[in-house]
Amino acid sequence: MFHLKGFSTILLMMVMASSIFAQSAKIKRAKEDMADLNYIDAIEILQNVLKAEDNAEAKINLAECYRKINDTENAEYWYGQVVRLPEAQPIHRLYYGMMLQINGKCDLAKEWYDQYTKEVPDDVRGQYLVKACDYEDELMTKNAGIFEIAPMPFNSNLDDYTPTIHKFHNFCF
């Protein structure tokens, strides 16, 4: 009977160890994808890790991925999770504040900027972002209506990076 209990314990420990190793390998793969700027694949991997277990490193990397692809709503959610972790760094509070601010929640953002500024007083980003929140209404309405933004005839419906005019046309600029 004792041997059966001992064997069961060893078997359980081996299963748990292999599960931890598998999650660790997935996070490593997600980090490689992030280094290659392949955030979409990294997000998928990290979400799968989080379905299997609550993992602080996966949450931190997932928040970073969403921030990098400018998915501010998901980035806000995940940074909201991250800032409550013991592993949270001051920069996570700054990024959380930025996501809140971008999503129109300046009052909440200012609280996180203040925390960041207290932790990293030499970095003026938090101070400037608090000021931007204070002037949000003015900044958003000051020059509204002065400029008209319209697509140029050479724009496509895709991401046009560094467009170049191949042949001169009579465009009105």
Is the domain of 65 the same as that of 99?
A: no
Tell me if 111 is assigned to some domain. yes
User: Over 60: is that where the pLDDT of 24 sits?
Assistant: yes
Owning domain of residue 42: 17-69
> How high is the pLDDT of residue 122?
94
pTM: 0.71
> How high is the pLDDT of residue 68?
97
Tell me if 99 is assigned to some domain. yes
DSSP 8-state code for residue 167 = S
Helix locations, 36-87, DSSP H: 39-52, 56-68, 72-82
> How high is the pLDDT of residue 172?
54
Tell me if 163 is assigned to some domain. no
Estimate to the nearest angstrom the gap between the alpha carbon of 28 and the chain centroid. 18
Tell me if 146 is assigned to some domain. no
Average per-residue pLDDT for the chain = 84
| Total number of domains constituting the chain | 2
Tell me if 45 is assigned to some domain. yes
* Mean pLDDT of the region 43-53: 94
Cβ 45 vs Cβ 55: under 8 Å = no
Cβ 112 vs Cβ 86: under 8 Å = no
